Structure 1
Amino acid sequence: MTTQRNFRWRVVDIVVASVIGVASGVVFLIWNLASNVVSGPLKAILPGLEALGGGFWLFAGVLTAIVIRKPGAALYGELLAATVSALVGNQWGWWTLISGLTQGLGAELVFALFLYSNWRLVPTLIAGAAAGLAMAITDLTLWYQASDTAFAVVYTVSGIVSGLVIAGLLSWYAARALARTGALNRFAAGRETRAAV
């Protein structure tokens, strides 16, 4: 017997997704400043490696999705975080919303391919990597149009790795840590974590 999945958003889904999105936006603001310290040395080692830090702008969508587990959650979380970053002010202005949109869509498409039914580690890692790929494509299109092939390849691979590790793996552990506190008791993510302990 198959159980019917309910993809309708509850009020609690909207509230928690919004909290995650806004909190992630604050992290984005901090990383907007800190990234300059990290990207300089990486760029000096090999141009394009600076994308290794990009995962700190990618995790909002993945984390929101694996907590809420509803269609649109990855897109909502990433776009809301990008909106917070743009509203407060950053060096990219409103172009940040384009990045939030494409990065959120990258993660969203992976969860859609899994029919919003597999929330284990592997799909989460793939979603993070897809967000990293989306970041690289967007950045190369908007900011690095004149870059050579070597830079584009290094930047893209670095973005994918960063997305996989930071947006994928760290979001996975962050969701499990949140669940252990009891904050996700009204979500399947919280119930599953408690049952596994």
Structure 2
Amino acid sequence: MTKQWKLKEIVLMSILGVVFGIIYLLFFLVGEGIRNILAPFGLAPFGYEIIYGVWFIVSIMAAYILRKPGVAFTAEVIAGVIEILLGSAAGPGLLLSAAIQGAGAEFVFALTRWNDYRLRVLVLAGISAAVFSFAWHLYSAGMIALAPWLIGSTLIVRIISSALITGVLGKWLSDQLAKTGVLRGYALGKALQRKRQYESA
């Protein structure tokens, strides 16, 4: 399978980046709402962590659908650019965060030489994005000043969120999309077609 991107793959990756850039921005409001609910209990730092996996999902979905080097990283960066253009309060620094998150996901796919897209790999890619982003946020967001138990707890929650939302949900959404037939010309759609042919043989 050629590793070069085709025009239709670039278009799809861009569409996914735009759609999830909008979703990411909306989920900042969701995270803020959860944070406000948890604040009276002293658990405000967990507000965003519970849903943090949402912010990595486009990297996993794009990579799972297209199955080519650089897709996870690029899709996440595109989503970050869209957030900035739409007026995210995080500002231009968000682009660096998006790049680090995308690099975290891309790292796992690179370890498999972009040949393994089973659920466990997608989950690991989501977890890797969580760990990369958490390491960055320790200093960029001042999380290093939190109590050690709180740092450890928020990391665990972010990892669980990423495993479930980014990995499991990301795969499920992609599979459902593929079943509609709109991904017939892409790697995931072709893999699904081969599986059907094998099962019917």
Q: Same fold (TM over 0.5)?
A: yes
8 Å contact kept, 1:47–1:151: no
Distance change in 2, residues 1:89/1:195 (3 Å): same
- Which residue of 104, 107, 114 maps to 2:105? 107
- Aligned partners of 1:42, 1:100: CA distance in 2, in Å? 26
- Which residue of 138, 141, 158 maps to 1:140? 138
Q: Helix, strand or coil for the counterpart of 1:19? A: helix
Distance change in 2, residues 1:173/1:159 (3 Å): same
- Aligned partners of 1:31, 1:47: CA distance in 2, in Å? 16
Matched AA of 1:192: A
Which digits, 9 at most, give the CA deviation of each residue in 1:40-84, with x for residues without a partner?
334536354231211111111111111111100000111100110
- Aligned partners of 2:109, 2:35: CA distance in 1, in Å? 30
Which digits, 9 at most, give the CA deviation of each residue in 1:117-161, with x for residues without a partner?
011111001101111112211222211232221121112111111
- Which residue of 5, 13, 16 maps to 2:12? 16
Runs of 4+ more than 4 Å apart: none
Count of residue pairs the alignment pairs up: 193
TM-score, reference length from structure 2 = 0.90
- Aligned partners of 1:111, 1:119: CA distance in 2, in Å? 8
The aligned residue for residue 199 of structure 2 is none
- Aligned partners of 2:56, 2:145: CA distance in 1, in Å? 24
8 Å contact kept, 1:47–1:154: no
- Aligned partners of 2:149, 2:96: CA distance in 1, in Å? 25
8 Å contact kept, 2:35–2:45: no
Distance change in 2, residues 1:47/1:15 (3 Å): same
The aligned residue for residue 43 of structure 2 is 46
- Aligned partners of 2:35, 2:194: CA distance in 1, in Å? 41
8 Å contact kept, 2:101–2:129: yes
8 Å contact kept, 2:64–2:117: yes
For structure 1, the 5+ residue unaligned runs are none
8 Å contact kept, 2:144–2:151: no
For structure 2, the 5+ residue unaligned runs are 197-201
Distance change in 2, residues 1:45/1:179 (3 Å): farther
- Aligned partners of 2:148, 2:33: CA distance in 1, in Å? 25
- Aligned partners of 1:63, 1:188: CA distance in 2, in Å? 12
State the Cα RMSD in Å: 1.5
8 Å contact kept, 1:78–1:101: yes
- Aligned partners of 2:120, 2:127: CA distance in 1, in Å? 11
- Aligned partners of 2:157, 2:135: CA distance in 1, in Å? 12
- Which residue of 116, 119, 139 maps to 1:118? 116
Q: Helix, strand or coil for the counterpart of 2:144? A: coil
Between stretches 142-151 and 41-50, larger displacement belongs to: 41-50
- Aligned partners of 1:61, 1:12: CA distance in 2, in Å? 17
- Aligned partners of 1:151, 1:33: CA distance in 2, in Å? 23
8 Å contact kept, 1:180–1:194: no
Q: Helix, strand or coil for the counterpart of 2:50? A: helix
